[in-house]
């Protein structure tokens, strides 16, 4: 069941369907980004998705899902292909750079919904891919 939930989550991600993604979360979902402070609640996660959709166009490629026997914890590993659309805060200027990253994500599942999303990727690798040309 957890793996089906994650599959639906990433299918919605690939469609750019934030409402479908939010519908799979608990009201008090905790989002732990690879860098930065955690955020809590659907409203905070929705604001994060809006920001990401302005700055990036991304697609999850070949996800692999794993889950605990009781279905309360799960993980995903995948390649993330993206395009940097709009400069994000103090990061390098966006010029439509394309990138590809390996991502690991970890989840808590409560009553058939995602209660925690914890994403991990190599920021230094991303910076190398989108940085200023040498």
Q: Which domains does the chain have, with CATH numbers?
A: 2-130 (3.10.450.50)
Q: Is the pLDDT of residue 104 over 50?
A: yes
Q: For the residues 28-50, what does the mean pLDDT come to?
A: 95
Query: Could you give the 3-state DSSP secondary structure of residue 20?
Result: helix
Match 């794993």 to its residue by tokens.
66
Q: What is the pTM for the complete model shown?
A: 0.93
pLDDT at position 132 is 61
Q: What is the dihedral of CA 124, 31, 119, 71, to 10 degrees?
A: 170
Q: How far apart are CA 116 and CA 41, in angstroms?
A: 10
Q: Token pair for residue 1?
A: 């069941």
pLDDT digits (tens, 9 = 90+) for 45-79: 999 999 999 999 999 999 999 999 999 999 999 99
Sign for the pseudo-dihedral over CA of 105, 78, 122, 58: negative
Q: What is the DSSP letter of 89?
A: T
Q: For the residues 25-41, what does the mean pLDDT come to?
A: 95
Q: Is the pLDDT of residue 120 over 60?
A: yes
Q: How confident is the model at residue 85 (pLDDT cuts 50, 70, 90)?
A: very high
Q: Is the pLDDT of residue 134 over 60?
A: no
């Amino acid at each position: 069941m957890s793996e089906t939930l994650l599959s639906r989550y990433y299918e919605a991600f690939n469609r750019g369907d934030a409402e479908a993604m939010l519908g799979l979360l608990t009201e008090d979902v905790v989002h732990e980004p690879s860098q930065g402070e955690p955020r809590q609640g659907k409203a905070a996660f929705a604001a994060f998705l809006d920001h990401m959709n302005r700055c990036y166009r991304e697609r999850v490629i070949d996800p692999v899902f794993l889950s605990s026997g009781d279905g309360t914890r799960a993980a995903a590993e995948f390649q993330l292909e993206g395009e940097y659309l709009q400069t994000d805060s103090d990061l390098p200027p966006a010029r439509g750079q394309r990138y590809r990253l390996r991502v690991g994500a970890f989840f808590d599942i409560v009553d058939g919904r995602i209660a925690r999303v914890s994403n991990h990727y190599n920021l230094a690798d991303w910076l190398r891919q989108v940085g200023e040309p040498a």
